[in-house]
Amino acid sequence: MFFLEYRDPLFSIILFFGIIFIITSSSYWWGRYRRSEDNKRLDRFLKQFRTLPSQKDLHLHIKKGELPDESWLLLAHSYSTSGDYEKSIKIYNEMLSFGDRTRKIEVMLLLGKTYFKAGFLERAKEIFLEILKNKPRTPRALHYLLLVYENIQDYKQALAVLEPLDELGEDTSLYMAYLKSIELLNDMEMKEDKKIKKLLEIYKDSHQLTHTLFKYLFSIKPEIAWENFDSSKSYLLSDLFWQLPAKDLDLDIISKNSYLKELYTARGDISLVEKSSIFEFDILINLHGKTNTTLKFEYLCQQCQFTQPFPFHRCSNCHSIDTQKVEFSLTRDYNKDFSEENNSFQ
């Protein structure tokens, strides 16, 4: 009684749905199988980049041209960005041996830059000098060579690099002032009075490197720093003024400068203002020193927006000079000991 003849319409309906079920099931399991195979293939592909091929295999891959140079450059760049400089350097060296000759200068620049980032300064110097030997008008190589000489404190050679940059039409006045200032600051044999005189001459000629100069002056000769202080640049030196010992304050100059009056009233040294337009100063003025609160300083590069916890002359990220901006915020002062918990700002 359960047997259905093929002529029965119900048989056709069952057969139709049976075929649909078979096709659907087959498609589902085939899709799962394909995804599994694709994942395995992708894992095998990525595995060869997690561990770089041996020098011999890499040599053969690049020589055969199995991948375009753009792919090798992208791979080397990714290794360099992640801090794996050794792998990046291996790829660049092999590309110089067997890669596209028209890219030689570009690859050498990238190799020299990677050596510089990895801290191999002598090797980086050799690369950039070789580039300039073959192609003297290469500004990027000159800029990195300048960085190398600066890092190895060979300021004489660094100043010599400015000549070809000047011939290429670049404004080198800031570089000149910066290198001369750093050279003076690192000269341990020169007498302080002579060093201060030369630094002030550079500052008056360039009107730049304010933080660099006054950080040194306030630590050595605060009275000379106050004499040459430009009140329009008070904000640039906020951290120096805040950290300056009370014995080194010049109250006559402070009383004539609205920004310094607010700053030192907030710090608690004087009481010349009752409020401030700067939020952090206003909070500290209203607290009247009854809390263990102080200012925390950070240093922002105005060129690349990179923030550092310490002051800098040249940005470690984009290598720009004199782009530091001081930023501050309220924080707990751990140098003060307040026994009552409700006196804590945090």
Helix, strand and coil content of the chain, in percent to the nearest 5, comes to 65, 5, 30
Domain boundaries, the chain: 53-170
Task: Band the pLDDT of 346: cuts 50, 70, 90.
Answer: very low
CB atoms inside a 10 Å sphere around CB 24: 10
Which of helix, strand or coil describes residue 294? strand
pLDDT band at residue 8 under the 50/70/90 scheme: low
Q: What is the pLDDT of residue 161?
A: 94
Report the alpha-carbon distance of residue 23 to residue 37 in Å, rounded: 21
How far is 207 from 201, CA to CA, in rounded Å? 10
Contact 96, 62 (CB under 8 A): no
Q: Are 224 and 217 in contact (CB under 8 A)?
A: yes
- Asked if residue 245 has pLDDT above 80, the reply is yes
Angle, nearest 10°, between helix axes 210-220 and 173-185?
Answer: 20
The CA radius of gyration of the chain, in Å to the nearest whole number, is 33
Burial class (CB in 10 A: 0-12, 13-18, 19+), 236: middle
* Chosen CATH of 53-170 out of 3.20.20.70, 1.10.287.70, 1.25.40.10, 3.40.47.10: 1.25.40.10
Taking only the tens place, the pLDDT of each residue in 213-241 is: 999 999 999 999 999 988 888 999 999 99
pLDDT of residue 342: 47
Q: Model confidence over 61-95: pLDDT tens digits?
A: 565 556 677 777 888 888 888 888 988 898 888 88
Q: How far apart are CA 193 and CA 196, in angstroms?
A: 5
15: left (phi over 0), alpha (psi -120 to 50) or beta: alpha
Task: Residue 25: count other Cβ atoms within 10 Å of its Cβ.
Answer: 10
Mean pLDDT of the chain: 85
Q: Which of 6-15, 17-26, 331-340 has the highest mean pLDDT?
A: 17-26
Q: Give 340 or 99, the one with higher predicted confidence.
A: 99
Three-state secondary-structure class, residue 284: helix
Does residue 242 carry a pLDDT above 80? yes
Nearest-CA neighbor of 142 among 166, 114, 176? 166
Residue 293 in contact with residue 331, Cβ under 8 Å? yes
Report the amino acid identity of residue 48.
Answer: Q
| Assessment of whether the complete model's pTM goes beyond 0.85 | no
Give the Cβ contact number of residue 254 at 10 Å: 19
Per-residue pLDDT, 64:
56
Long-range contacts, stretch 71-77, CB < 8 angstroms, 24+ apart: 72/99, 73/107, 73/110, 75/49, 76/110, 76/114, 77/110
